[in-house]
Amino acid sequence: MAIEFLARVPQQNSWNANVWRRDPLAGHGLRTWLTLNAALVVFLLALPTSVMPKDPAVKGEARDSKKDVLPASSARVAANVRRSAVKSGRTGAVGKGGSDATSSTSAKLSTKTSAAVPPLAKSRAKMTPRRPITGSSGTAAAMNSDSLRAERCRQQIDAALQPARLLKLIEECEKDIAAGPFLDEIRHLAVGARSALEGQRLAGLSSDFFDEPGGDGQFRGLIAKAVRGDQLAAYSLARAFRNGESGVASSPRRVEQWLRFASELGNGRASWELAELYNYSGQIADAARFEKKALSQGYRPGVRLPSRGY
């Protein structure tokens, strides 16, 4: 509009001259109005050069430049604070006081500056899920854990001196131990412990029968084997009580009990000796039963004694 008006101004020179002649004040106001319009046109033409460009890439560069300015400005502010502290004489004790105050102030400024610009590395680290532990290290840890459980089970099983207790420990260890040689070993022990538990029941022995307080190391080893179903160990214990060996005193009652236990485990010689024992004591029926059992177990005696009552 202002340009069109200026274009028509030369055509109205005569009219303007008449206006100025008739009213000088009106002519002066018209001149002022034209000057303002011309200045407005120049301003509007120059305005687009100062506006921020609309290109997104350029906008991003502008924002990056603003972000880069923040740490520099904070450094300048920290330097000004230090200089003002020195000028004002607030250095305190030389060294510690002034340096601590300046460092604390600069630390606060750097904290505020870093808070203004969010750290992308930390946010990405929080968003990234952790990977599970795999590979040789995880496998080694699992193997180490299995070996520890196996060793603990072995110690408990070796210390068991009762068939029922031994079976319970084996069942618990079978749930925790992985497949391997040790698992096969304890399963084999379970077979012998079940045989010992059944022999204890058939012989009419109490649950504390295997809790022998005395005896030397060899005697304790024989008890551990007998609890695991070893018939030869059970027969050796009967002989120890008969002869008073291996740190124990002679006991006819214990001899009979261990012979019966060995007989139930399948020892033919123990069954034969029980038959002789019952024959001498006048228990004819028991003597005949155990003699027959000894023969069925494969025992072949020597010369038959003529003093048998059956």
116 pLDDT above the threshold of 50: no
Supply the pLDDT for residue 181.
87
End-to-end alpha-carbon separation of the chain, Å?
149
What are the CA-CA distances from residue 122 to residues 48, 60, 118, 125 (Å)? 41, 22, 9, 5
131: which residues sit within 8 A by CB, 6+ positions away?
none
- Tokens of residue 89, six digits: 């004489």
- Kindly report, residue by residue over 129-144, the tens digit of the pLDDT: 554 444 455 556 656 7
Supply the pLDDT for residue 203.
93
Supply the pLDDT for residue 158.
92
229 pLDDT above the threshold of 80: yes
Supply the pLDDT for residue 297.
94
50 pLDDT above the threshold of 60: no
What are the CA-CA distances from residue 45 to residues 4, 9, 41, 154, 248 (Å)? 15, 21, 6, 96, 123
CA separation for the pair 163, 264 (Å, rounded): 14
CA separation for the pair 183, 188 (Å, rounded): 9
User: Helix, strand or coil for residue 51?
Assistant: coil
pTM (predicted TM-score): 0.54
223 pLDDT above the threshold of 60: yes
What are the CA-CA distances from residue 84 to residues 45, 89, 101, 188, 240 (Å)? 47, 9, 12, 87, 100
Residue with tokens 């045989």: 195
- Kindly report, residue by residue over 65-86, the tens digit of the pLDDT: 444 444 555 556 566 656 765 5
What are the CA-CA distances from residue 217 to residues 113, 210, 244 (Å)? 78, 15, 15
Of 42 and 295, the structure prediction assigns the larger pLDDT to: 295
Say if residues 228 and 192 touch (Cβ distance below 8 Å).
yes
Helix, strand, coil percentages (3-state) for the chain, rounded to 5, are: 75, 0, 25
What are the CA-CA distances from residue 69 to residues 63, 72, 73, 113, 250 (Å)? 10, 5, 6, 10, 101
Q: What is the mean pLDDT of the chain?
A: 73
